[in-house]
Structure 1
Amino acid sequence: MQDNKRLLSLDFFRGLTVAAMILVNNPGSWGHIYAPLEHASWNGCTPTDLIFPFFLFIVGVSIAFSMSGKRLQPETHGRTLLKAFKRALILFGLGLFLSLFPKIFTDPVNALAHVRIPGVLQRIAIVFFFSSLIFIKSSDKGIFRTMIILLFVYWALMTFVPVPGVGYANLEKETSLAAWTDRTLLTEAHLWKAARTWDPEGVLSTIPAIASGLFGVLVGLYLKRKDLSEAVKVSWLFCTGLAAVLLGLLWDLQFPINKSLWTSSFVLYTGGLGTMGLALCYWIIDVQQYTRFTKPFVVYGVNAITVFFLSGLMPRILNMIKVTGADGEEVGLATWKYQTFFVPYFSPVNASLASAVVLVLTWMVILWIMYNKKIFIKV
C-alpha cells in the first residue's frame, strides 16, 4: 500500500463504530432496550461498551496516519500541536454545547450552573490532544512505555490510595477515588445528571482513556511499516490483539473490566478486540480489495464527528416542537413520531429498536448524499 493512500478499512471501521454509537444512543424508549444494546450495570462488558473505546482507539490510529510526516519535522511541532489543541477545544466546546442545549437559550443562568462538564465529545477532545502530543514528542518505544505507565499508575491510584472521607481504596460507583475526584474538582452540579455523585467520563478515568488512544497510535504505526508484508502485519495484529484480550481478562480478576471506571483491564480488553477488528477489516478491504459492501459505513466514517453531533442535537430540537400525542397530552415532536409510527406496530422492545434503526438509516441517506457531493465537514 502506498504511504499516502487513504486507509479505507479505517474509514469503514470508524463509520461502523459511529453508526453503532447512534443506534445505542437513540432508542425509541430508554425503558425498552435489548440487553446487548445496554451498557453493563457496572463490572463487565456488553457489545455496547465496546463502541466508545473503539472510537478512541480509532482516533489513535488516525493520528499515526495523519501526523507521521509532521512528526519527522521538529520545526513544525509547535504549529502541529497548536492545531491539535484548537481542534480539541472545538470538540470540547461542541460537547458542552450539547450539554447546555436548549436550556442555554431559555434559562442560561440555571443551564450554566448545572451543565455537565465531562462528556463523550469532551473525552474525545482530551484523548485526541494528549495522544497527539505524546505521538509528536515521543519515540515509538516511548509511546508504548507511556501507555503502560498510564495503565499502571491508574491501577495503583484506584486500588491502593485511600479515598478521603471513606478511608480505603475501592471500586464502587460513589465511593471510589474517581468519584471523589469528580466531586472535588467539578462539584456534583457539573456531573452526569443520572448520578450527580460520579461521572462515566470523569477526570481520573480519562488517564486510562488516553492509553486507549495510544493503543491505537501503536497499531497505526505498525500498519504503516513498509518492511513487512501485509500478511505478516495482519497475523501479528491478530496475535497482539488476542494477547491484549487475554491480559485484560487476567487483570480483570484483580482490577475488573469496567467501562464507567475505564479500568486498565478494560483498556487492554477493548484495545485487543479493536486491534483484531481493524486487522480483519484491513485484510478484507485494503489487502484483498473487497470494497463493494463498504460505502454505507464509509459515508459515516468520513463525517463521523458531524453526524455524532447532529444526531445528538436533532432530538433536542424536535422535542422543542410540541404537538398533541395519542393520549391527548402535549409531547415533543420526536416523542410523537415514536408513539405514532412505531409503538402501535411493534412490541415495546422492537418498537424502540425499530425507531433507532430508522434513525441510523435516515442519517445514512443524508451522509450518502454528502459523500457523493464530496461534502466532508472537518472539525
Structure 2
Amino acid sequence: MGGEMTQGNRWLALDILRGLSIIFMLLNLNPGSWSEQYGWVLHAKWEGATFIDMVAPVFLFCIGVAIPLSLRRRIEAGESNGQLAKHILNRAGILVLLGLFLNAYPAFDWAHMRIPGVLQRIGVCYGAVALFVLFTARREGGFRLNAKAGWIAWTFVLLSWTALLMFVPVPGFGAPRFDPVGSWPAYVDRLVLTTDHMFPWWPVDGKVVFDPDGLLSTWPVCANVLFGALVGHARLTGITAPILKMLVAGGLLMAAAVGLHTTIPIIKHIWTATFALFTIGFSLVSLGALTLLVERWNSAPAFYPAQVYGSNPLLAYMLSFLVAPLIDLVWLKPPAASIRAAGQALFAQAFEPRLASLCFALTMVTAIFLPLWVCWRNKWFLKL
C-alpha cells in the first residue's frame, strides 16, 4: 500500500497525501457517537459527495502514482517481468485476504461475512493496473511507462462504464439506472454475492440492496489508480511546471464532473465516471498543493504526523480495524459501558455532541499514531 521509492527519489508530498487520507479515514471510522457527527465526516447517502468521500479515491490515486516509481526501482535492480508479475499478484492477493480477514473479525460468522471491502478493492485495482503498466511499458534505455496505452485504457474504462450504466438495460429494471436498487452494480452484487455477504449498514427501505465496494463497480475504480500511474510517470520523466499543471488539470477535471452531473450523477457507491473525474481532479489539486507547500515553501515539518501515517498506511489501517471492536466491548458499567461511549460522555462535558464525537476520533488517531511513530523511529515498515 505504500510507495516503494528509494530515499533519493521519494516524493514527500505523496507520502503526506497518503497519510492525510488515512488520518481522515480514521476520523470517519472512529467517532465518539455514530449519530453525532459533522456532515463533512459522513459519506453522501447516494448522489453528490462530501469531503470524506474524497478519502478512498485519493488513497487509490496515491497507490497508482507509486506504481511506476516502484516498478522502475525493481527493474533497475534486475528483476524480470515474470518476477515482477509474481510480486504484483502476491501483493494483490495478500491485500484481498487481509480484507476478508478484517471483514470476518472478530465474529468470524462465515454465513454472514461481507465479501467486498476496501482492501479487497485496493488489491484488485492495484493488481490490474500494475500488471497493465508492467506489460505495456518500454524497457529500451530503462523503464518507461507507455503513456499512450495508459490514456487509451483510462478513457476506455470510463466510457465503457458509462455506456453500461446508461444504455444496457438491467434485467427487470431497464436503463439508464443510477439508483441503489436497479443499477448494474447493485443487481450483480445481489445476484453473485447475495445480500448475506454484502454491506448491511446502509439499507434501503429496510433491505440490503447494494454494496459500496461491490464487484462490478471495482472496474471504474481502476481509472483513479491508472491516472495516478500516469502522474507518477510524469514525475519520473521530469515534466515541466508540474505543480501548475496538476492544479490546472485537477480544477478542469472537477469542473467537467460538475458540468456532467445532470447527465451522469456523481455517485461514489457505484463510482460513476463523474465521481471518478471529480475525485481524480481533487487528488491532483491536493498533490499539487502539497508539492508546492513541501518542495517550494519547505513546510514539511508541519505535516510530520501525516508523513508518519503515510509511511506505514497498511499498518495504520490494520490497527484501526483490529482496535475498533475493542472500543465497543462492554468494559464498564452503564450508561457508559464501552470505551467509545465513555469517551463521548467525557468530551460531551466540555463540548457540544458533534465536537465531542470528533474529539474522540482525534484521540483514536493520536492513539494509533503512537505505535506508528515507534515504527517510524526504528524504520519498521509493514510492506507487501
Task: Normalising by structure 1, report the TM-score.
Answer: 0.91
Say if 1:162 and 1:169, in contact at 8 Å, map to a contact too: yes
Q: 1 CA distance for matches of 2:375 and 2:307?
A: 12
- The answer for the alignment partner of 1:337 in structure 2 is 342
Deviation at 1:233, TM superposition (A): 1.6
Deviation at 1:250, TM superposition (A): 2.2
Q: 1:181 aligns with which of 188, 209, 213?
A: 188
Q: 1 CA distance for matches of 2:42 and 2:98?
A: 25
Q: Deviations over 1:235-293 (max 9, x none)?
A: 22222212211222222221111111111011111101111110121122134433221
Q: In terms of mean alpha carbon deviation, does 155-164 or 235-244 score higher? A: 235-244
Task: Work out whether 1:307 is the aligned partner of 2:295.
Answer: no
Task: Work out whether 1:113 is the aligned partner of 2:111.
Answer: yes
- The answer for the alignment partner of 1:244 in structure 2 is 253
Q: 2:278 aligns with which of 253, 269, 274?
A: 269
Task: Work out whether 1:140 is the aligned partner of 2:147.
Answer: yes
Report the CA distance shift for 1:251/1:80 in structure 2 as closer, same or farther (over 3 A): same
Q: 2 CA distance for matches of 1:36 and 1:318?
A: 23
Structural mapping, 1:1-379, within 5 Å: 4-70=8-74, 76-104=80-108, 111-138=109-136, 139-194=146-201, 195=203, 196-226=208-238, 228-229=239-240, 232-320=241-329, 322-326=331-335, 331=337, 333-379=338-384
Deviation at 1:70, TM superposition (A): 4.5
Structure 1 regions of 5+ residues with no counterpart?
Answer: 105-110
Letter of the structure 2 residue corresponding to residue 291 of structure 1: A
Q: 1 CA distance for matches of 2:378 and 2:76?
A: 34
Deviation at 1:326, TM superposition (A): 3.1
Q: 1 CA distance for matches of 2:60 and 2:79?
A: 28
SS in 2 for 1:103: coil
Q: 1 CA distance for matches of 2:344 and 2:44?
A: 27
Q: Deviations over 1:174-225 (max 9, x none)?
A: 1111110111111111110123211011111111101110011111111122
Q: Deviations over 1:73-112 (max 9, x none)?
A: 99711211211111111111111111111112xxxxxx11
Deviation at 1:113, TM superposition (A): 1.1
Say if 1:62 and 1:220, in contact at 8 Å, map to a contact too: yes
Say if 1:70 and 1:77, in contact at 8 Å, map to a contact too: no
Letter of the structure 1 residue corresponding to residue 134 of structure 2: I
Deviation at 1:321, TM superposition (A): 5.4
Q: 1 CA distance for matches of 2:329 and 2:335?
A: 18
Letter of the structure 1 residue corresponding to residue 318 of structure 2: F
SS in 2 for 1:209: helix
Report the CA distance shift for 1:293/1:146 in structure 2 as closer, same or farther (over 3 A): same
Deviation at 1:8, TM superposition (A): 1.0
Report the CA distance shift for 1:188/1:11 in structure 2 as closer, same or farther (over 3 A): same
SS in 2 for 1:312: helix
Report the CA distance shift for 1:361/1:166 in structure 2 as closer, same or farther (over 3 A): same
- The answer for the alignment partner of 1:107 in structure 2 is none
Q: 2 CA distance for matches of 1:82 and 1:133?
A: 10
Letter of the structure 2 residue corresponding to residue 207 of structure 1: W
Q: 2 CA distance for matches of 1:235 and 1:94?
A: 38
Q: 2 CA distance for matches of 1:307 and 1:188?
A: 29
Q: 1 CA distance for matches of 2:174 and 2:17?
A: 44
Structure 2 regions of 5+ residues with no counterpart?
Answer: 1-5, 137-145
Letter of the structure 2 residue corresponding to residue 182 of structure 1: D
SS in 2 for 1:116: coil
Say if 2:344 and 2:360, in contact at 8 Å, map to a contact too: no
Identity %: 32
Task: Normalising by structure 2, report the TM-score.
Answer: 0.90
SS in 1 for 2:170: coil
Say if 1:211 and 1:267, in contact at 8 Å, map to a contact too: yes
Letter of the structure 1 residue corresponding to residue 192 of structure 2: L
Report the CA distance shift for 1:163/1:88 in structure 2 as closer, same or farther (over 3 A): same
Say if 1:10 and 1:278, in contact at 8 Å, map to a contact too: yes
Deviation at 1:345, TM superposition (A): 3.5
Letter of the structure 2 residue corresponding to residue 147 of structure 1: W
Report the CA distance shift for 1:205/1:368 in structure 2 as closer, same or farther (over 3 A): same
Say if 2:331 and 2:339, in contact at 8 Å, map to a contact too: no
Say if 1:7 and 1:286, in contact at 8 Å, map to a contact too: no
Q: 2 CA distance for matches of 1:133 and 1:207?
A: 15
Q: Deviations over 1:342-374 (max 9, x none)?
A: 344332212211110111122223322221121
Q: 2 CA distance for matches of 1:304 and 1:326?
A: 35
Say if 1:323 and 1:336, in contact at 8 Å, map to a contact too: no
